[in-house]
Copies of this chain bind each other. A is one copy, B any other.
């Protein structure tokens, strides 16, 4: 019977609804201020019920991170279908990343939360945590793929190791984007204003810089 399967799917649906609610709450009150009561109220479920779907509050945050990384991967996957030189794909991914964070800063916050988890035991046993890990790998592989394409079409210097380069691009972009995220919240704005630098153009400039760095020199 597919009855078990149906149950599983319904459970998954509920989980998604709870994460929806969490997003909504965070949007209203901020990430750290979200309480289980808030989520219960938003879902119109009882607090106890939440614990049937999520082991604890952390798991909800984790659920957000998982969803976020899934959505981001979807964007990256789509970029890979475009028929352009590898370097262009990398640039496109950068744009996607920036857009994603600006549109859905909650997920970015959730990523940071996920990364702050120390409990290794938990990270390796919890299924959602594992899915986050998988998504991170997938994400990494998309970037790697784009780099490999670039190395083949000659737009990217093939003396680099693609996988390593991917990590670097990912990590450094993350830094840039975090600044963008901060700027949105008014931080460092004085400094950034001084330089007459808007995020958009800075990010473009950075991608250009990276591009120069990894472009093939003849």
Contact = CB atoms under 8 A, between A and B. Distances in A.
A185 B119 CA distance: 9
A122 to B, nearest CB: 11
Copies of this chain: 4
Contacts of A160: 205, 209
A1 interface: no
A206 B30 contact: no
Contacts of A191: 133, 136-137, 140, 167
B186 A120 contact: yes
A212 B208 CA distance: 12
Contact of A214 (B163, B188, B212): B212
Contact of A176 (B175, B177, B186, B190): B175
A160 B195 CA distance: 13
A168 B118 contact: no
A179 interface: yes
